[in-house]
């Protein structure tokens, strides 16, 4: 079955271009042209991925994302205009998986879409990972510390799983970006620091442990939770 993608974009020519390109890649696409229609469609559960513009009539993209996340973990890539850095960070805070800055090249879009859809536990992979009191169930997309369930966005979960698969080794920001986000993305390794901060807040700070270690000049290492 081809993956289904919802394009929420009010600029009709951009929506059409994206749609043509993704259909050529074999995806099934639908479009919504304002925030309300976009939210309703995204909540239908029919889509594997949502491309969500920020500047939208009726309901802006960040509000759509916020409401969507109350009920759905569908993958979301935000489309932001150049210069809206705050919006990008806000989008990630609200649980977007990724963002693309307009104007973007179509092959960049396709690469990001592929990467966003790639991260699924496949048969044969070990489904349960653990490190100290920390456990992650890849199939269920759930993580626990002791008996407490963690509230993680999909991207945070994927990053945590990546670290749990690479214990006690130093991982560079570029490697993390490549393996978790799935593209060669030179420059904005900032994203990794933002996400590590989220995980530290939700795990290290909350439970008084120390899983995530910064290795100056090199990247990050994941340990057993205790120094």
Residues that bind Ca ion (CB under 5 A): 10, 53, 55
Q: Which is nearer to Ca ion, 41 or 55 (CB)?
A: 55
- Which of 162, 159, 132, 157 is closest to 146 using CA atoms? 132
Q: How far is the CB of 44 from Ca ion (least distance, A)?
A: 22
Burial 33-60 (b: 16+ CB within 10 A, else e): bbbebbbebbbeeebbbbbbbbbbeebb
Q: How far is the CB of 160 from Ca ion (least distance, A)?
A: 33
Q: How far is the CB of 54 from Ca ion (least distance, A)?
A: 7
Please, what is the Cα angle at 9 between 26 and 88, to 5 degrees? Answer: 100
Q: Which is nearer to Ca ion, 10 or 158 (CB)?
A: 10
Q: How far is the CB of 112 from Ca ion (least distance, A)?
A: 18
* 10 touches 53 (CB < 8 A): yes
Burial 183-201 (b: 16+ CB within 10 A, else e): eebeeeeebbeebbebbbe
Q: Which is nearer to Ca ion, 101 or 224 (CB)?
A: 101
Q: How far is the CB of 67 from Ca ion (least distance, A)?
A: 18
Give the nearest residue (CB) to Ca ion.
55
Q: Which is nearer to Ca ion, 40 or 149 (CB)?
A: 40
Q: Which is nearer to Ca ion, 55 or 117 (CB)?
A: 55
């Amino acid at each position: 079955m081809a993956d289904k993608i919802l394009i929420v974009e009010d600029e009709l020519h951009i929506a059409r271009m994206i749609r043509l390109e993704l259909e050529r890649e074999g995806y099934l696409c639908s479009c919504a042209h304002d925030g309300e229609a976009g939210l309703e469609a995204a909540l239908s559960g029919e889509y594997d991925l949502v491309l969500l513009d920020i500047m939208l009539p009726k309901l802006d993209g960040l509000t759509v994302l916020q409401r969507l996340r109350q009920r759905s973990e569908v993958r979301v890539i935000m489309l932001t205009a150049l210069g809206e850095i705050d919006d990008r960070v806000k989008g990630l805070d609200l649980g977007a998986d990724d963002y693309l800055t307009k104007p973007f090249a179509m092959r960049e879009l396709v690469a990001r879409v592929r990467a966003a859809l790639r991260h699924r536990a496949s048969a044969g992979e070990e489904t349960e990972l653990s490190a100290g009191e920390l456990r992650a169930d890849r199939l269920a997309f759930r993580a626990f510390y002791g008996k407490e369930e963690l509230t993680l966005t999909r991207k945070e979960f994927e990053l945590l799983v990546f670290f749990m698969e690479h214990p006690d080794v130093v991982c560079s920001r570029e490697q993390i970006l490549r393996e978790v986000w799935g593209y060669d993305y030179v420059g904005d390794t900032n994203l990794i620091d933002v996400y590590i901060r989220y995980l530290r807040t939700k795990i290290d700070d909350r439970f008084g442990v120390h899983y995530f270690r910064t290795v100056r000049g090199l990247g990050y290492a994941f340990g057993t939770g205790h120094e």
